[in-house]
Chain A
Amino acid sequence: MTALSRAARRHGPAVLFVAALLGAWQGLADLQVISPVFFPAPSRAFEELAFSASDGSLWTSAWATIKRMLGGWLLASAAGIVIGGAIGSSRTARDYLEPTLEFMRPLPASAIIPVAILFLGLSGSMALAVIAFGAIWPVLLGAAHGFATSRRGLRDVAAALEFGPVQWMWKFSLPAAMPDILSGARISLAIALILAVVTEMQASLPGLGYDIFMAQRSFRSAELYAGLIALGVIGFIVNHGLAMFERRVLSWREPQS
């Protein structure tokens, strides 16, 4: 009872606000101040969402986009950890690679779409390449920073316990760099979703990005809004899922008692 009323007091205003927003939207749309071609009622958008969920097209598209995003992100993370780890733990690697990377980094990821199309055509592997290129930087920078700052005290411990370089990497350096890598990976994942949508629009690859693009082309605005809502939900789940994973893995950082 008290817990319920406390929850109501806590979340009540937020729920009311969302309801008011939706109500205003619905009201404006019902009055048809703006043509429903541009401005569909939220009820229409949700109907559309429910419809595409029931006929399965929503899941097919969403899954295609998620697969694209995750694939590119995994590629970016693997490469980012390896390259960042090399830069962070070896002076020589840093001297050779850093200037080249510094020049590539500011390049907007979408700008390499034309190059990728030239080499790989309008294909799924083109999308993966673009996503991986764009999403690599936060992980790479995080890994470079994390590996560079692994503590000198731990080096002594590893030496005293006669651990070799491989075990130093695996048991000491990598876990020590994990917080930086994970916070980079979270940003990378958001970028991966953005680029998944962009490449779908650009190359007509199946997925939510392509769906909303097509909805706009044929002025089916309710479908457009439904697609936006679906993308928002994916972005939200993915971001919070990774944040939860991060908290779990890094629980050692929270001092208790």
Chain B
Amino acid sequence: MAHGHSAQDLMRPAGSAQPAMSVREVSLTLGGPPGRLILDAISFDVRQGEFLSIVGPSGCGKTTLLRLMAGLMPPTSGEITFEGAPVRRPSLSRAIVFQDYTNALLPWRTVSANIALSLEARGVARAERDDRVAALLKKMGLQHAAAQFPGQLSGGMQQRVQIARCLAQQPRIMLMDEPFGALDAITRQGLQDELMALAADEKMTVAFITHDLEEAIYLGDRVFVLAANPGRVVEEIEVGLERPRHQLLTREDPRFLKHRHRLFGLLQGH
């Protein structure tokens, strides 16, 4: 399975498989010259089918990193490639889930029409759209909200709509920017489990940004830790916890706690 990376993968990626995305020596300077160094020579791969968590304190440039990976802005130096081709502009093959769902959904479109937006972007014929939307509504548990407007929904529901819209893109990677950061704890846990099930079902490649350590470990196959000023990768761990995971049991697992201790120390150190 796609999520089978575990102890034996720890050494190095297994042979020939090309990474989904590769970030090479990427730096970003804003303003200036001389300007402020936001990201400093960041390098890593996102492996095919993995769930990669990127965790860091606020101000470490993690959202900026995701924008670079999406192609929403260019790096000052270095290169990002997706499936071997350089990333120069946004692409339908890379879906982005924004943290601020209120500004990412079109408030004048119903839930269905928001999801259909991706289908319109892909040029899916009108006749076909309804079925696709219906399937996605069902998958995300949004059937009853289909005709409602985003402003009438709770935050958790709105974020579900955004995820559904991203799924409608049929992307080959999901870039998620603290998607659950603004939600309450209960809703967040529910969505975490839904997201993991979804990722497993669809064999999705995910890069997931968060400032929440536990969330990073709980969701991820691997976790990257970024430090601030300037943003750089300071640690990489293989989580190695088997799936499916469980909100209580997994979080009480000694390996989970060990990771948590280690990363906590790292984040405190900076």
Q: Give yes or no for direct A-B contact (beta carbon below 8 Å).
A: yes
Question: If the complex has contacts A171-B117, A252-B149, A255-B151, are A160 and B107 also in contact, measured as CB distance less than 8 A?
Answer: no
Rounded to whole Å, the gap between the CB of A146 and the closest CB of chain B is 12
Q: Is B72 positioned at the interface, with any CB of A under 8 Å from its CB?
A: yes
- Say yes or no: B169 contacts A161, CB within 8 Å: yes
Q: Tell me whether A159 and B90 are in contact (CB under 8 A).
A: yes
Q: What is the interface size of chain B, counting residues whose CB is below 8 A from a CB of the partner?
A: 29
A161 nearest CB across to chain B (Å): 4
Chain B residues within 8 Å of A176, by CB: 108
Contacting chain A: which of B98-106, B186-194, B245-253?
B98-106
Instruction: Flag the segment in A1-9, A115-123, A147-155 that touches B.
Output: A147-155
Q: Give the number of residues in A that approach B within 8 Å (Cβ atoms).
A: 23
The reply to whether A160 and B103 contact each other, CB–CB distance below 8 Å, is no
Interface positions of B from 75 to 120, Cβ below 8 Å from A: 89-92, 94-96, 98, 100, 102-104, 106-110, 117-118, 120
CB distance from B231 to the nearest CB of A (A): 20
Residues of B within 8 A of A153 (CB): 98, 100, 102-104
- Cα distance, A152 to B103, chains bound together (Å): 8
The verdict on B70 contacting chain A, using a C-beta distance below 8 Å, is: yes
Contact call B103/A161, Cβ cutoff below 8 A: no
Question: In the docked arrangement, what's the CA distance between A77 and B151, Å?
Answer: 28
Q: Which of B90, B100, B149, B152 contacts A160 (CB 8 A)?
A: B90
User: Which A residues touch B96, using CB under 8 A?
Assistant: 156, 160
Interface centre among A152, A171, A252 (most CB of B within 10 A): A252
Known contacts A160-B72, A161-B169; is-contact A154 B106 (Cβ 8 Å): yes
- Which chain A residues lie closer than 8 Å to B102 at the CB level? 153
B173 → chain A closest CB, angstroms: 12
Q: Tell yes or no: B127 within 8 A of A by CB.
A: no
B17 an interface residue at 8 Å Cβ cutoff?
no
Min CB distance B140 to A, Å, is 18
Q: Are A160 and B95 in contact (CB under 8 A)?
A: yes
Q: Answer whether residue B11 sits at the interface, using C-beta atoms and an 8 A cutoff.
A: no
Contact A252–B98 (Cβ < 8 Å): no
Residues of chain A within 8 A of B108, CB atoms compared: 175-176, 178, 250, 252
Asked if B90 contacts A162 (CB within 8 A), the reply is: yes
Cβ–Cβ < 8 Å partners of B107 in chain A: 252-253
Residues of B within 8 A of A163 (CB): 121
Given A156-B72, A255-B152, residue A161 in contact with residue B121 (CB < 8 A): yes
What chain B residues lie within 8 Å of A35 (beta carbons)?
Answer: none
In the complex, 12 of the A-B residue pairs with CB atoms within 8 angstroms, ordered by the A residue number, are A153-B100, A156-B72, A156-B104, A160-B70, A160-B96, A161-B92, A161-B117, A161-B118, A162-B91, A176-B108, A252-B107, A252-B108
Closest 8 CB pairs between A and B?
A: A153-B103, A161-B121, A252-B149, A159-B90, A160-B90, A175-B108, A160-B96, A252-B108
